[in-house]
Structure 1
Amino acid sequence: MTASATASLPTGQVGASLVRQLLLWLLLPQLVLWMAGGFATYRFAAGYANQAIDASLLQAGRSLARQLKPIGNGLLIDFPRAAQDVLEADPTDRQLYMVSSPPGQFILGNQSLPLPPVQDKQEEILLNTPYFYDGTMPVNGRAALHAPKGQALRLVGIYLRFGEDAAKPQTMLVQVARSSANREELARRILVDMLLPMSSLVLLMTLIVWLGIRAGLSPLARLRQQVEGRAPTDLAPLQLASAPRELWSLATAINTLLAAVQNTVATQKRFIGDAAHQLRTPLAGLKSQTEIALQLATDPELRARLQRVHDSATRSAHLVNQLLTLARAEPESVLAHDRQRFDLQRMAQSLTAEWVPRALRAHIDLGLDDSATAPVWIEANELLVREALSNLIDNALQYAGTGSQVTVRVRAENAQTPPHALLQVSDTGPGLTSAERERVFERFVRASDVGQGCGLGLAIVKEIVERHQGQVQLDEVLPHGLCVSIRWPLSPTPAA
């Protein structure tokens, strides 16, 4: 027999979701790589923008230098207004210029342009070599509100030698600058154009990863459903049509454990069944001998002792029979017995008639409610259903008390969903309290010391009913008494 146990939660704390952990470990590196890719893209875009702007600045600087023609020790500046308009044609991207000689002494252009860093570092200056650098030009007026630190510029500086006096060569600095705003705008546009498809790919990959994780973990969900959906007494192996190797190992370990538990339970049931079978014969002989001894004994004290022995033998024999019945009601035993379609009404009628003599001896009115006489067909193991009804009638006769009434009712409730057969055994005895009604279905639990019961009758009834997909409940009868109701699935009417 399977001992009843209270389910307990596993020890320890519940960890995070496996799906969430997999998503985190798979998507977090993608997010980091996406950010690193965005930063690298911006740097590359800024570099390419600088190369384009530097080429434009170098071309403008050399063109400006060609307009400066040395005359003796001086300069002829051939810089017509048309050329100046070309440099300043785009108001959003003006090219600023300055010519100074010596470097830093303003001659022409915008005198606010910053000098190349090479001049501040006191390094050797290379002639005719372009120096590209970033700088800031101070601004005044309304523009200072938008750029309080000044206007950011990209500049090129070219140092040139001029003058006919070889003893005193002169150096001039030609500078051309453009605002860095357009360069940054170009870099941002390149970055946006790159990040939009990258972001779409990351989102698509996230969706694919999520779907892949769900598909990969679906065998685990099916395994969980198998374990959650089965009865506590169902020790059949878990079935997995297709699963990863790791899950197969887990399922194999669980099936090995279930097989060991099933073997232990089967061994325990065989032991109880064998012991009960072995005890029936000596107990029956003990009862017969005590009955004979009671008839022959004349000493009152001896008769009292023999009567106690006879009562104990009777109770032990009843317990053995109940244990055998309970063993037959176990899930595996129910599956082993054939089920057949029979009339529950007719079976209740014949069984009630068999218990009438005992009811008369106990001065109890036992009868069958004949308000419903139509057949009530169910599909079950008739032997076990008969045993369940016998236990209910036996309990009612034992505990209802002298002068009480015990009524058996059977009817079909087709209006219910789903339709079912209702079997009731009610009595007008003392009844049970609400606390006792919750416990009497447990094994070896008795609500009263009256009678020869052993606390297995209602446990057997519940076991049999549940193995036939039925329901059993206890209800109070007013003004006093108890009603046991069993609902069985109705058998469908066979086709003509």
Structure 2
Amino acid sequence: MNGRSLHRQLLLWLLLPQIVLWLVAAFGAYRLASRHADELVDASLLQAARALARQIKPTASGIFVDLPRSAQDILSTDSADPDGRVIYTVSSPPGQLRLGDARLPPPPGTPALNEPVFFDTIVPEPMRVVSLDQHLGAAGAADSTLRVQVARLSASRELLARRMLLDTALPLSLLIVLMSMVVWAGIRKGLKPLAELQRQVEGRRADALDPVQLRAAPPEVGALAGAVNELLGQVQQNLATQRRFISDAAHQLRTPLAGLKSQAELALELATDPALRQRLQRVHESAVRGARLVSQLLVLARAEPEAVAAQGWAAVDCDHLVHEATADWVPRALAGGCDLGVDVVDAGLRVQGVALLLREALVNLIDNAVRYAGSGATITVRLRRVGDDLWLDVEDDGPGLAPELRERAFERFVRGASHGEGCGLGLAIVREIAERHGGSAQLLPAAPHGCIARLALPLQA
């Protein structure tokens, strides 16, 4: 079952609160910027309204507005924002226009004297308006009340708020990005021991059961590595027990099987009844097969990783190994009607390994060729160098092996032919030994017919 990545989960749970806080801070900054922008705009409008009110003087015939054309142009344009137009009205009494834009509506309610009233309106664009009522003459006079209104487009206020928000949000965003990078780097550094543990477990062979080594690991990862090491130790102990049982059982079976084989041979020499001789012959064949099976089980136990390491590695002279093993098998090959020979293409080749196991692998390949190539076959043991590898081929011109059986023949207790006395462990032992030495074993077709059993091993550096 595939779960979500721990790295992504940690990154999500650490960055999500930061993003939420950033959004809350951005919203709060926008509200604060809007409020300050409103305050600045309102203060600017009130200052303009009072400045305009100071330019209005009462006269005997009415009022006099001392507002030159240049002052009107300055008042009609926002110096902070050229696109933010300002309009104004002067009325006395309130509602009776004396100067300015008649589109400005009156303020809501009944304003108090000398108390500014701020409100929003549309004329025809959204605008912010300040209305200021003042006395011009004696209190209580009908024409002594003056109303001054100044309005500015709301767009300028929103522009000011956005600018203030940008000045606040940009450093905050950079801070959030910097914090995110620090969090990401911290998560990677914190999870590095887990990646190291994964690398050590994934990079090892299935038979490598030595403990996992972690340096300066946190307690949590150290506890996980300790649990993995404990499990590996238990598996190693179980495999060792199993190997000891196989080895002990094979050793215990060798003696009675050898005795059974000897007794069957003696009985065959003394028996005169044909039916009895036939049964004794089957008993003898079974004893021979059982003895060979026990012998191969012992070799298989010696080919296990721990057994190979215990036997010690050394430089093996493959020239000498090939000649010696082939010479020992010449009599058996002749007895089977086969012509067994050696072809050393490259002399002086050496590999690093266990000579006893490599000899056993070669012997098994020769034995298979003698058993299954048939009488009259020619068998050649060839030694050569190909690149950085040594190829040890046992080639015969017998009937060969079907393509679908070439790979299955390396499985334990799988036989490539129904005849012969094999038990299906020879090629499995060859592949096991080859892999323990860092090499490989395979079966290939020979031309025009026959089979090539190839053992490929890395040459000694």
TM-superposed CA distance for 1:439, in Å, is 0.4
Counterpart selection for 1:408 from 373, 381, 391: 381
Check conservation: 2:57, 2:66, Cα contact below 8 A: no
TM-superposed CA distance for 1:366, in Å, is 1.1
**Aligned partner of residue 369 in structure 1, secondary structure:** strand
1:311 matches 2:299: no
Q: Which residue of 2 aligns with 1:126?
A: 112
CA shift digits 1:318-337 (9 cap, x unpaired): 10100000000001111111
Counterpart selection for 1:379 from 342, 346, 352: 352
1:272 matches 2:246: yes
Q: Which residue of 2 aligns with 1:249?
A: 223
TM-superposed CA distance for 1:161, in Å, is 4.9
Rounded Cα–Cα distance in structure 1 between residues aligned with 2:354 and 2:161:
83
Rounded Cα–Cα distance in structure 1 between residues aligned with 2:264 and 2:221:
63
Rounded Cα–Cα distance in structure 2 between residues aligned with 1:167 and 1:476:
126
Q: Which residue of 1 aligns with 2:68?
A: 81
Q: Which residue of 2 aligns with 1:460?
A: 429
How large is the Cα RMSD of the aligned pairs?
A: 2.3
Q: Which runs of 5+ in 1 are unaligned?
A: 1-11, 139-149
TM-superposed CA distance for 1:160, in Å, is 3.3
- Residue range with higher mean Cα deviation, 235-244 or 335-344: 235-244
Q: Which residue of 1 aligns with 2:403?
A: 434
Rounded Cα–Cα distance in structure 2 between residues aligned with 1:166 and 1:102:
12
Q: Give the aligned length.
A: 457
Matches within 5 A, 1:105-144: 105-116=96-107, 118-119=108-109, 125-138=111-124
Matches within 5 A, 1:58-77: 58-69=46-57, 75-77=62-64
1:396 matches 2:365: no
Q: TM-score, normalised by structure 1?
A: 0.86
Q: Which residue of 1 aligns with 2:169?
A: 195
CA shift digits 1:323-382 (9 cap, x unpaired): 000000001111111112232111111111111111111111111125x37222222111
Q: Which residue of 2 aligns with 1:27?
A: 15
Rounded Cα–Cα distance in structure 2 between residues aligned with 1:77 and 1:71:
7
**Aligned partner of residue 367 in structure 1, secondary structure:** strand
Check conservation: 1:431, 1:480, Cα contact below 8 A: yes
Matches within 5 A, 1:295-310: 295-310=269-284
TM-superposed CA distance for 1:484, in Å, is 0.9
Rounded Cα–Cα distance in structure 1 between residues aligned with 2:425 and 2:361:
11
CA shift digits 1:256-290 (9 cap, x unpaired): 22222222111111111111111111111111111
Check conservation: 1:342, 1:377, Cα contact below 8 A: yes
CA shift digits 1:285-332 (9 cap, x unpaired): 111111111111122222211111111111111101000000000011
Check conservation: 2:93, 2:142, Cα contact below 8 A: no
Counterpart selection for 1:47 from 9, 17, 35: 35
Counterpart selection for 2:86 from 77, 85, 95: 95
Rounded Cα–Cα distance in structure 2 between residues aligned with 1:308 and 1:165:
143
Percent of paired sites with the same residue: 54
TM-superposed CA distance for 1:483, in Å, is 0.6
- Residue range with higher mean Cα deviation, 317-326 or 306-315: 306-315
Q: Which residue of 1 aligns with 2:258?
A: 284
* AA partner of residue 367 (structure 2): D
**Aligned partner of residue 296 in structure 2, secondary structure:** helix
- Residue range with higher mean Cα deviation, 440-449 or 183-192: 183-192
TM-superposed CA distance for 1:171, in Å, is 4.8
Q: TM-score, normalised by structure 2?
A: 0.92
- Report the CA distance shift for 1:86/1:346 in structure 2 as closer, same or farther (over 3 A): closer
Q: Which residue of 1 aligns with 2:393?
A: 424
* AA partner of residue 109 (structure 1): G
